[in-house]
A and B are shown apart, each in its own frame.
Chain A
Amino acid sequence: MGTKAGATQVGSLSQVVTVTKYNFLNYFRARRFYVMLAVILLISVLLTALVGYYRPVAFLGLPGTPASQAVLGFYGAAWGGTGGFLSFSSLVVILSAAFFGGDAISGEFQNRTGYFLVPNPIRRSAIYVGKWFAALVASTIILVVFAVIVMGNGLFYFPGAVPWEFEQSLLFAWVYLVAALSLTFAFSSLFKSSSISILMSVILLLFVFGVVDDVSMFVAGIEPWYSITYGAGIISSILVSPYPQHEVTESLGAAFGRSRTSANPHFVISTYTASVPEGLEILVAYFAVTAALGLWLFVKKEFTS
């Protein structure tokens, strides 16, 4: 216990809460949050208008499809990205993670706000964790807004209950958000420039991992168990009934793919799908490893101009 005035230390946990509170306040008032919200609303409006006007089969099912089948198709197309669609939920997760996490730490250096916060009786880890929670709250709001709009549409076309698969998918999307935010935070600790760390986050999550997944599967024939986007595949896989098989191998006559053995040279490509436990494991591993890495980088990083 401090014996002198002003020398009492505050517990790290309550400091985390403080940092979260004021960072969230800062996020919530900043233009960025509303830009993000506007992007989500734009996607939603387009989605709603498109489905309402064209009534595409991919969303609403072929006439005669039993409603229990068709409803999954709807959520798959509007949320999960099944059937060759861009996964809107992943897009929302990636954009929020990049927007709220991509410069969270680099901004403290580049904008010099760290000079206000860091030279205080507070551990750097408490600052990191507090900022991470603030970004998580802000991006969870964005994700939930999008989910509510998708659900609203779903209930309009398929009144009754929301399928449990969608509820799970939403949960998986949130786990993906947790992992992605951890990753973007690590990036923001690595770079000193805010724009570079945001850009790197978006490029990596939106393109690089996707390419890596494809190359790994189709060219090398290896399951991309090390890829965050592969793990996040469970968001859409859960909306497919029945759940896709772990490995599907197709033989191809064309000179594409790889030869299974040199003795038996016909070409095959394999498509892998992570099971739910595997997908969750990958996402949790990403969260843990990148959280530790980012924290370590931030604790070591020097405030030099």
Chain B
Amino acid sequence: MANAGPPPNSILPSLEAVQLTKTYGSFTAVSGLNLKVEGKKCVGFLGPNGAGKTTTMKMFTGLISPTAGSARIGGVDVTKDKKAALASCATLIETPEIYPSLTPREALSMLCEIRGVAAGERRKRIDEALGKVKMTEWDDKKVGSFSKGMKQRVNVASTLLSDPEVIILDEPSTGLDPRGMSEVRDIVKSLSDRLVFMSSHLLAEVTEVCQEVAMIDHGKLLVYDTIENVTAKFAGGGGSVEIGFVKDVDAQTQAMVAKINGVKEVARSNDKHLVVRFDAGTISQEKLFEGVAGLKAGAISFQHSSGLEDAYLSLIKETL
């Protein structure tokens, strides 16, 4: 068979949507999307339910074909040559199911064979991948009896087998327990020498693991930039922090915090925590921290809340 390989000019891993469009009857799920992500980094793909994230990713993986435009991986159009386009791209779209009477080891072996992992390497790769998702103990049990989260762990493992340059992840932590989510975060962080394109609703996760974000709504791209730029531009210029106290916060403490110069709003998020919104123009986070400490009111923790969330909420006003 023809071994086309990647085109010679693709030095950096890349994903590119060119006027990418998908319509279902009269409904447009993805509308003329133009987006090029390139380089070794993690890009978060954000947007409300029904925005068209999964639809876009399905077009990148050949699960559906575009109504118009093209989806390219490493410069190769997926519709024209899916096999070449996905040669160095691993994917996890929605929550796949595995043939129920296969074991994780067998299912992953199948993918290793399809993806051309050398026979001598397969065992090691599968062991490593299963180890990363903490499924080693289950490697020879039939997948059919697994819980949703256990299956998703195997799905995550399936993206780690062939040393891909590009990884497309559609809400990879769906169905995982808190530890599982944190493990997936660590896995994605460890993939920093590749291009990871990941959709997620967990903004804390995205802030932690991604350097850039692309936001879409109603099938249209709203913004694509680094997280810092997006936050600076769209988070309303302000910031917010959550402050934890040793004992229950009383009204007096709350009033004192509110009087610190530059503080716009103080609210109790629970008995021992205050959420403070401040005006970044008149006060820096550092000054605020000093001010709160200076009150000697028993503050013990100080956590910056996600600017990404503020940016998201200001960009995406009404959903659906």
A residues whose Cβ falls under 8 Å from a Cβ of B: 1-15, 18-19, 21-23, 25-26, 29-30, 111-124, 302-305
Q: Which of B1-9, B127-135, B227-235 contacts A (4 or more CB under 8 A)?
A: B1-9
Query: What's the least CB distance linking B172 to chain A, in Å?
Result: 13
Q: Which residue of A lies closest to B154 (CB)?
A: A116
Q: Is the CB–CB distance between B97 and A6 below 8 Å?
A: no
20 contacts between A and B (CB under 8 A): A6-B117, A6-B164, A7-B165, A8-B87, A8-B116, A9-B3, A18-B110, A22-B99, A22-B107, A112-B96, A113-B97, A115-B96, A118-B63, A119-B91, A120-B86, A120-B115, A121-B82, A121-B84, A304-B24, A305-B94
Across-interface contacts of B115 in A (CB, < 8 A) = 6, 10, 120-121
For residue A33, which residue of chain B has the nearest CB?
A: B101
Q: Say yes or no for B293: interface residue by CB 8 A criterion.
A: no
- Say yes or no: A121-B87 contact (C-beta < 8 A), given A4-B6, A7-B165, A25-B106: yes
Inter-chain pairs besides A26-B99, A26-B102, A112-B95, 6 sampled, C-beta below 8 Å: A2-B88, A21-B110, A115-B97, A119-B63, A121-B86, A302-B65
B94 CB to nearest A CB, Å: 6
B3 touches A120 (CB 8 A): no
| Stretch with Cβ within 8 A of A (4 or more), from B33-41, B155-163, B207-215, B301-309 | B155-163
CB-nearest residue of chain B relative to A5? B163
- State the Cβ distance, B41 to closest chain A Cβ, in Å: 17
When distances are taken between beta carbons in the complex, the residues of chain B under 8 Å from A116 are 96-98, 107, 111, 155, 158
Selected from B5, B116, B163, the residue in CB contact (under 8 A) with A3 is B5
Residue of A nearest to B164 (CB): A6
Q: What chain A residues lie within 8 Å of B101 (beta carbons)?
A: 25-26, 29-30
B10, closest chain A residue (CB): A4
Q: Is the CB of A18 within 8 A of B114?
A: yes
Chain B positions 101 through 121: 1 when the CB is less than 8 Å from some CB of chain A, otherwise 0: 110001101110111110000
Q: How far is the CB of B42 from chain A (nearest CB, A)?
A: 18
- Which residue in A9, A13, A26, A305 is a CB contact (below 8 Å) of B100? A26
- Tell me if A9 and B4 are in contact (CB < 8 A): yes
| Chain A residue at smallest Cβ distance from B109 | A22
Query: B interface, how many residues as a size bin?
Result: 35 or more
Question: Which chain A positions have C-beta within 8 A of B65?
Answer: 302
Confirm or deny: B83 has a beta carbon within 8 angstroms of a beta carbon on chain A: yes
Given the known inter-chain contacts A119-B62, A303-B64, please indicate yes or no for A7 contacting B114, CB distance below 8 A: no
> Which label, helix, strand, loop or mixed, suits the secondary structure of the A interface?
loop
* CB-based nearest B residue for A112: B97
CA distance A3 to B74 in the complex (A): 13
Give the dominant DSSP class at B's interface. loop
Count A-B pairs with CB separation below 8 Å.
142
CA distance A160 to B142 in the complex (A): 47
Question: Is B61 among interface residues, defined by CB-CB distance under 8 A?
Answer: yes
The reply to whether B83 and A9 form a contact with Cβ atoms under 8 Å apart is yes
Interface: B93 (CB within 8 A): yes
In the complex the two chains form, is A23's CB within 8 Å of B99's CB?
A: yes
Q: With an 8 A cutoff between CB atoms, is B58 at the interface?
A: yes
Evaluate contact between B165 and A6: CB separation under 8 angstroms. yes
Q: Would A123 and B107 count as touching, CB distance under 8 A? A: no
A13 to chain B, nearest CB (A): 7
Contact A22 B5 (CB under 8 A): no
Taking beta carbons and an 8 Å cutoff, which residues of B are in contact with A? 1-6, 8, 24, 58, 61-65, 82-89, 91, 93-102, 106-107, 109-111, 113-117, 142, 155, 158, 162-165
Whether the pair A123, B64 counts as a contact (CB closer than 8 A) is no
Say whether A115 contacts B63, CB under 8 Å: yes
Q: A131 to chain B: closest CB distance in Å?
A: 11
Whether B84 and A9, one on each chain, are in contact in the complex, defined by CB atoms closer than 8 angstroms, is yes
- Tell me the smallest distance from the CB of B102 to a CB of chain A, in Å: 6
Choose one: A113, A124, A305; the contact of B99 (CB below 8 Å): A113
- Chain A residues with Cβ under 8 A from B64's Cβ? 302-304
CB distance from B290 to the nearest CB of A (A): 50
Closest to A7 in B: B88
Q: Is the CB of B100 within 8 A of A2?
A: no
Chain A contacts for B165, CB-based, 8 A: 4, 6-7
**Is there contact, CB below 8 Å, between A113 and B63?**
no
Bound-complex Cα distance A48 to B4 (A) = 58
Docked Cα-Cα span, A4 to B101, in Å, equals 34
Q: How far is the CA of A6 from the CA of B95 in the complex (A)?
A: 24
Give min CB distance, A255 to chain B, whole Å.
53
Q: Is the CB of B88 within 8 A of A11?
A: no
Q: How far is B110's CA from A15's CA once the two chains are assembled, in angstroms?
A: 9
**Docked pose: A195 CA to B63 CA in angstroms:** 23
Q: Name B114's contact: one of A10, A26, A112, A115 (CB within 8 Å).
A: A10
- Nearest B-chain residue to A3, judged by Cβ: B5
Inter-chain CA distance A111–B65, complex, in Å, is: 21
State whether B155 touches A119 (Cβ < 8 A): no
**Complex: A14 Cα to B116 Cα, angstroms:** 10
Task: Return chain A residues, CB-CB under 8 Å to B162.
Answer: 6
> Do residues B102 and A9 form an inter-chain contact, with CB atoms below 8 A?
no
Contacting pair A120 B114 (CB below 8 A) = yes
Please state if A13 and B87 are interface contacts (CB–CB under 8 Å).
Answer: no
Task: Tell whether A9 pairs with B62 under 8 Å between CB atoms, given A4-B88, A26-B102.
Answer: no
Scoring A1, A121, A124 by chain B CB atoms within 10 A of each residue's CB, the highest score goes to A121
Say yes or no: A113-B83 contact (C-beta < 8 A), given A7-B6, A22-B110, A118-B62. no
B65, B96, B117, B164 — most chain A CB neighbours (10 Å): B96
A121, B89: Cα distance in complex, Å: 8
